[in-house]
């Protein structure tokens, strides 16, 4: 689940400092993040035309019980928000993020982001994926391209993660890639540190200037989760207090991984057997499936 960069009072604890996870913390995060990814693995064959977003939510809740995890989003209520009513977020077509599961039927040609955060033994794992409803052949070229470029933009940001790099390097890599492909980057929401709290420092913007913001150091764990719009970057919040949509109703896409800064580079923690393979430009040695 993305974190609101403009309204810091809505965070769990806006005054906390960056936490650096020790070996035990990293192992706990590997487990929580893998389990979060496995929820999406489980849902993948079930997300098809005719299912409702509410049914996806129910299926996920049942699977989390089998895993021994609990949803981080159900009842989640930062300052200024109503309690979130879903076990996950379902953001459809022009919904940017925080879509609430309900009675909406999926149809061929839709695109859907499913954002899952679980808690395992007090540690949080957070990730999201895009789904092409009815398969690639059912979706427009424009929709398929937006989802693919957004996926690659996330990985462009991941690829610059290493000790000594800056958070601004991540945002710059994502922004330049997305804009070079004719898209816009949502700026009101960002990635975030994560560990024994849902949202920690640092904020991970998906735009910015290289060489700026905090230096990356081993033990940092944070999400990278760009929201990319096919039209203008302007957004608005619906009356439910959660759902964010594109102001011009253009399509929006988002992918999310949780990433650990290692002594030599990075490790993507939210990988599992069903994860989409990284783009061809990603160095195979830099990624790892959590054991």
Q: pLDDT at residue 290 above 80?
A: no
Q: pLDDT at residue 6 above 60?
A: no
- CA torsion sign for 196, 198, 203, 207 is positive
CA neighbor of 259 nearest in space, from 188, 133, 134, 165: 165
Record the tokens describing residue 195, joined without a space: 């560990």
Q: pLDDT at residue 69 above 60?
A: yes
CATH number of domain containing 162: 3.90.230.10
Run of H or E residues at 203: strand 200-204
C-alpha–C-alpha distance, residues 112 and 129, integer Å = 8
Q: What is the mean pLDDT of the chain?
A: 94
pLDDT in tens, 177-199: 999 999 999 999 999 999 999 99
Average pLDDT over residues 127-150: 98
Please check whether residue 89 is in contact with residue 56, taking contact to mean a CB–CB distance below 8 angstroms: no
Number of domains in the chain: 1
Query: When comparing pLDDT for 1 and 21, which is higher?
Result: 21
Please check whether residue 231 is in contact with residue 142, taking contact to mean a CB–CB distance below 8 angstroms: no
pLDDT in tens, 89-104: 999 999 999 999 999 9
In a domain, 53, yes or no: yes
Query: Against a cut of 0.75, is the pTM above it?
Result: yes
DSSP label at 179?
A: H
pLDDT in tens, 244-259: 999 999 999 999 999 9
Domain that holds residue 250: 3-286
In a domain, 291, yes or no: no
pLDDT band at 283 (very low <50, low <70, confident <90, very high): confident
Record the tokens describing residue 82, joined without a space: 């109503």
């Amino acid at each position: 689940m993305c974190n609101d960069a403009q309204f810091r009072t809505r965070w769990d604890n806006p005054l906390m400092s960056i936490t650096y996870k020790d070996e035990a913390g990293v192992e706990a995060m590997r487990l929580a993040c893998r389990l979060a990814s496995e929820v999406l693995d489980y849902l993948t064959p079930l997300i098809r035309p005719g299912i409702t977003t509410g049914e996806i939510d129910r299926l996920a809740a049942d699977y989390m019980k089998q895993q021994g995890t609990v949803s981080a989003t159900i009842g989640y209520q930062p300052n200024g928000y109503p309690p979130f009513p879903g076990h996950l977020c379902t953001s459809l077509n022009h919904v940017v993020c925080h879509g609430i599961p309900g009675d909406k039927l999926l149809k061929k040609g839709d695109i859907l982001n499913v954002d899952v955060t679980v808690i395992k033994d007090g540690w949080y794992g957070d990730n999201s994926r895009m789904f092409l409803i009815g398969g690639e052949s059912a979706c427009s070229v424009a929709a398929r391209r937006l989802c693919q470029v957004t996926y690659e933009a996330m990985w462009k940001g991941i690829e610059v993660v290493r000790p000594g790099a800056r958070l601004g390097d991540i945002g710059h890599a994502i922004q330049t890639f997305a804009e070079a492909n004719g898209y816009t980057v949502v700026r009101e929401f960002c990635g975030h540190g994560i560990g024994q709290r849902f949202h920690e420092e640092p904020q991970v913007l998906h735009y910015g200037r290289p060489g700026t913001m905090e230096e990356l150091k081993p033990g940092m764990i944070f999400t990278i989760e760009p929201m990319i719009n096919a039209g203008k970057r302007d957004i608005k919040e619906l009356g439910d207090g959660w759902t964010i949509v594109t102001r011009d109703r253009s399509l929006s896409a988002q992918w999310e991984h949780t990433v650990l800064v290692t002594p030599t580079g990075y490790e993507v923690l939210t990988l599992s057997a069903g994860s989409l393979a990284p783009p061809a430009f990603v160095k195979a040695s830099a990624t790892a499936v959590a054991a």
